[in-house]
């Protein structure tokens, strides 16, 4: 398993937001997957192989907490989300079973170059941070 140093920099910024969200909402947070080969019969995309995805466990989260997280992060990060293999629309956070319940976070392959100003604008849309 390769560490976070090889994860796409924009994904690392999103990841920091996830940690903060979990801290602010008193939710357990455990990474279960970063970079790696697809799992035959389970993986539906190459996002993990391309360092554009991370998974974390939602053990200890209620259905409502999962729904709230997915809704908020999909709304906030639509502009950098990967296109869903299933729905064909940009989706950052996917709540799914795989080898165990987890949330899959994925970013686009072709993220446009972002200025520091644009990045900060993206991060400031945080109602629980103001
Ligand atoms: Zn995943």
Give me the domain span that covers residue 45: 4-124
Q: What residues have a C-beta under 5 A from ligand 1, the ion?
A: 53, 55, 104
Residues 106, 53 contacting (CB under 8 angstroms) = yes
Residue 130 lies in a domain: no
Residue 129 lies in a domain: no
Residue 53 lies in a domain: yes
Q: Which pTM does this prediction carry?
A: 0.84
Find the 102 Cα to ligand 1 centroid distance in Å: 8
The per-residue pLDDT for 115 is 82
- Neighbour tally for 54: CB within 10 Å: 26
In the chain, the number of structural domains is: 1
Find the 86 Cα to ligand 1 centroid distance in Å: 14
- Write out pLDDT tens, residues 31-87: 998 888 877 777 778 899 998 999 999 999 999 999 999 999 999 999 899 998 788
């Amino acid at each position: 398993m390769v560490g976070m140093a090889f994860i796409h920099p924009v994904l690392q910024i999103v990841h920091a937001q996830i940690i903060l969200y979990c801290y602010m909402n008193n939710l357990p947070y455990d990474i279960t997957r970063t970079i790696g080969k697809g799992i035959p019969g389970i993986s539906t995309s190459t996002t993990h192989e391309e360092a554009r995805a991370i998974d974390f466990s939602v053990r200890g989260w209620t259905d409502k907490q999962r729904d709230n997280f997915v809704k908020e992060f999909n709304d906030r990060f639509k502009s950098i989300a990967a296109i869903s293999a299933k729905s064909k629309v940009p989706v950052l956070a996917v709540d799914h079973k795989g080898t165990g319940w987890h949330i899959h976070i994925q970013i686009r392959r072709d993220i446009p170059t972002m200025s520091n100003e644009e990045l900060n604008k993206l991060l400031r849309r945080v109602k629980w941070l103001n």
